[in-house]
Chains A and B, each alone.
With several copies, the nearest count.
Chain A
Amino acid sequence: MYSDKVIDHFTNPRNVGEIENADGVGEKVSSSCGDRMKVFLKVENDIIEDVKFQTYGCGAAIASSSMMSELVIGKTLQQALDLTNDQVADALGGLPAPKLHCSNLAADALHEAIKNYQETNA
């Protein structure tokens, strides 16, 4: 049911955890399943230096979180804001249709964290 990439990111999720004194924190709760993701950012000169996440959710949600973190570390805030949920799912080699919503958590939570950073540093 899941691609090898999903299984890889699920089994060995990258960047799990918390950043103390994070520059931005955001979270997203899935309206369809109640699953939840929290993202912590470290930002320097508009560049995302580090990302950590905590996820309560299914295999797809955890893999999406991990993939998202890999995709945006080292990117500019704008590039990170441009990241879409579909891009996360695509980078995982696709998700089964009923699991597509799970990847929505990742980009959305990231964007919340960036918004939080921008608001607190405005």
Chain B
Amino acid sequence: MKRIYMDNNATTAVRPEVMEAMLPFYKEHFGNPSSVHWAGRETGAALEAAREKVAKLINCAPAEVVFTSCGSEGDNLAIKGVADAYRDRGNHIITTAVEHPAVLNSCKYLEKHGFEVTYLPVDGHGMLDVSSLEAAITDKTILISVMWANNETGTLFPIEKIGAVARKHKICFHTDAVQAIGRVPVDVDAAQVDLLAISGHKIGAPKGVGALYVRKGVRLTPLVHGGHQERNRRAGTHNLPGIVGLGVACELADADLRNTAQRLSAMRDRLEQGLLAAIPESQVNGHPTMRLPNTLNISFNYIEGEAVLLFLDMQGIAASSGSACMSDLEGQSHVIDAMGVDPMMANSAIRFGLGYDNTEADVDQVLEILPNIVKKLRDMSPFYHERDAAKATANS
């Protein structure tokens, strides 16, 4: 059985070029980049070279890049770090109802410590209304945190517009760009973003490394206190191989961003059209056009998403129902919920995240297999049968 991995929003395989670049830094060049001797100098240079590559992808100065261990840490550092550093100015934070748990749970933690948080709603496409964001600003607002792209639906937020509003009101603007980076162009300067979190393992770098962009002049209390690494913004011995890998992954992303985006969105669109055509009463969750090129979130009414995923899995196809870090939990996605999707539709939502390695043959295979799975599960579903019965009555 050919295995097809279509869960690249959860994590990606390390790209071969990335692996090759990292390998020398485990056993051969293993020095602590903070050490002053030969072993540290070798890796110190590699550290700064990687920083430059990350900076180039998002168009910032290398000194504005803080290496972290993952996207979640970046979000926590940005939100708690700004909250603590700007506490004298106010205690109000604005975010959205559809953020990743790393953002939402950082905000909930701050709510227990004297902060007030506004969670802005989204519309049926998962889209945010910038004027409602501006209306939510008070003279106590010290931080706006809005994700660049939603991880479950792929909906892209109007980051440049939000950046302009934040700048106008002189409020720090953090964006969780973990899903956006490497998939759509990201320019912190054009977008007037002050902080931006990325994660290596979503773009072909390994797990265990990420970065937070922190605009020069933005005050930030560290999350991890200790040594003087990262200009006192993040202590702990650098994950040198991981950082080197992140650098190369950013460089690769920079080089083929447009090509990859075009290729993946063409495949994604074919998958989407094929499924909608083959499976009646299905619907796409997310924005029709403002969407990540690789993401398809789709619902098949009357059945349950977990059962669909299980059947797909048994046929070698890896997809998911929302964020991996929530998947061991009961209950529906807070994102699909916030979009006001009908609960039964919401229950069947599954997410395909296409990636670098996917091929047209993969799409063919999903198109062949999935409609049968849906049919089988609908045949089992009492709701589906009652619906037929209801129709029959109506027609008689």
Chain A residues near B (Cβ < 8 Å): 1-2, 7, 10-11, 13, 16, 18, 27, 32-38, 54-59, 61-62, 98
Q: How many Å from the CB of A19 to the closest CB on chain B? A: 13
CB-based contact A55/B380 at 8 Å? yes
CB-based contact B382/A54 at 8 Å? yes
What are 25 contact pairs spanning A and B, CB under 8 A? A1-B41, A7-B310, A10-B310, A11-B314, A16-B379, A27-B382, A32-B330, A33-B330, A35-B304, A36-B383, A37-B382, A54-B385, A55-B382, A56-B302, A56-B381, A56-B384, A57-B304, A57-B307, A58-B304, A58-B306, A58-B307, A59-B306, A62-B307, A62-B380, A98-B328
SS of A interface (majority):
mixed
Question: Which of A18, A33, A56, A61 has the largest number of chain B CB atoms within 10 A?
Answer: A56
Give the top 9 A-B pairs by smallest Cβ distance, nearest first. A54-B382, A58-B306, A59-B310, A38-B382, A56-B381, A16-B380, A56-B383, A57-B304, A59-B307
**Bound complex: CA A36 to CA B383 (Å):** 9
B329 close to A (CB within 8 Å): yes
- B383 to A, closest residue via Cβ: A56
Q: Which of B273-310 contact A (CB under 8 A)?
A: 302-304, 306-307, 310
Q: How many Å from the CB of B321 to the closest CB on chain A? A: 10
B217 close to A (CB within 8 Å): no
Q: Which of B336-382 contact A (CB under 8 A)?
A: 343, 347, 379-382
Chain B residues near A (Cβ < 8 Å): 36, 41, 302-304, 306-307, 310-311, 314, 328-331, 343, 347, 379-385
Q: With A11-B314, A33-B330, A98-B330 in contact, is A55–B381 under 8 Å at CB?
A: yes
CB-based contact A34/B347 at 8 Å? yes
**Bound complex: CA A33 to CA B347 (Å):** 9
- B343 to A, closest residue via Cβ: A34
